[in-house]
Amino acid sequence: MPSSRPASSVLVVLLLALASPAFAATASVGPDDDVVARAIAAAAAEDGAEPVDPSADDDTAAPGPADPAATAAAAGPAPADDGQAPVLVHDEDILPEETSRAGFYVRGDIGAALFATPTATLPAPVGRFRSPSIDPAVTFGAGLGYDFGGWLRTDVTLDAVGSGGFSARSVCAGCAGGGFTRERADVSALAALLNAYVEFDGVVRPYVGGGIGVSRVEATDWRTTRPDGRTGRRPDAEGWNFAWALAGGVGFDVADNVTLDAGYRYLTLGSAETGRTAIGGGGGRGRAELEDVAVHLVRLGVQVRFP
Work out the average pLDDT over 28-38.
52
Q: Of the segments 13-17, 172-176, 189-193, which one has the largest average pLDDT value?
A: 189-193
Domain at 103-305: CATH code: 2.40.160.20
Can you tell me the mean pLDDT for 285-295? Answer: 95
Residue 23: predicted pLDDT:
45
Find the length of the chain. 307
What is the pLDDT, as a whole number, of residue 60? 46
pLDDT of residue 29: 44
Report in angstroms the alpha-carbon separations of 85 from 91, 111, 127.
20, 62, 88
pLDDT at position 247:
97
* pLDDT number for residue 2: 47
* pLDDT value of residue 150: 82
44 versus 293: which is more confidently predicted?
293
Q: How many CB atoms lie within 10 A of CB 111?
A: 20
Mean pLDDT of the chain: 81
What confidence category does residue 278 fall into, taking pLDDT thresholds of 50, 70 and 90? confident
Q: Model's pTM, two decimal places?
A: 0.67
Among the listed residues 276, 293, 147, 284, the one whose alpha carbon sits nearest the alpha carbon of residue 219 = 293
Q: What would the mean pLDDT of 185-192 be, rounded to a whole number? A: 98
Mean pLDDT, range 277-298, rounded to an integer: 89
Contact by Cβ (8 Å): 189, 137: no
Between 12 and 231, where is the model more confident?
231
Of 57-66, 95-104, 131-140, the range with the highest mean pLDDT is: 131-140
3-class secondary structure per residue, the chain: CCCCHHHHHHHHHHHHHHHCHHHHHCHHHCCCCCHHHHHHHHHHHHHCCCCCCCCCCCCCCCCCCCCHHHHHHHHCCCCCCCCCCCCCCCCHHHCCCCCCCCEEEEEEEEEEEEECCCEEEECCCCEECEEEEECCEEEEEEEEEEECCCCEEEEEEEEEEEEEEEEEEEECCCCCCCCEEEEEEEEEEEEEEEEEEEECCCCEEEEEEEEEEEEEEEEEEEEEECCCCCEEECCCEEEEEEEEEEEEEEEEEEECCEEEEEEEEEEEEEEEEEEEEEECCCCEEEEEEEEEEEEEEEEEEEEEECC
As a whole number, mean pLDDT of residues 266-279 equals: 94
Q: Tell me what pLDDT residue 62 has.
A: 46
Q: What is the pLDDT of residue 87?
A: 63
Residues 289/121, Cβ–Cβ less than 8 Å: yes
Lowest average pLDDT, out of 24-38, 87-101, 136-150, 163-177, goes to 24-38
pLDDT of residue 231: 94
Contact status, residue 297 vs residue 265, Cβ threshold 8 Å: yes
Q: What are the tens digits of pLDDT across the range 107-137?
A: 999 999 999 999 999 998 899 999 999 999 9
146-164 confidence digits (pLDDT tens): 999 889 999 999 999 999 9
Tens digit of each residue's pLDDT (9 = 90 or more) over 254-271: 998 999 999 999 999 999
Q: What residues does each domain of the chain span?
A: 5-58, 103-305
CA distances from 261 to 96, 167, 206, 207, 297 (A): 27, 33, 10, 10, 13
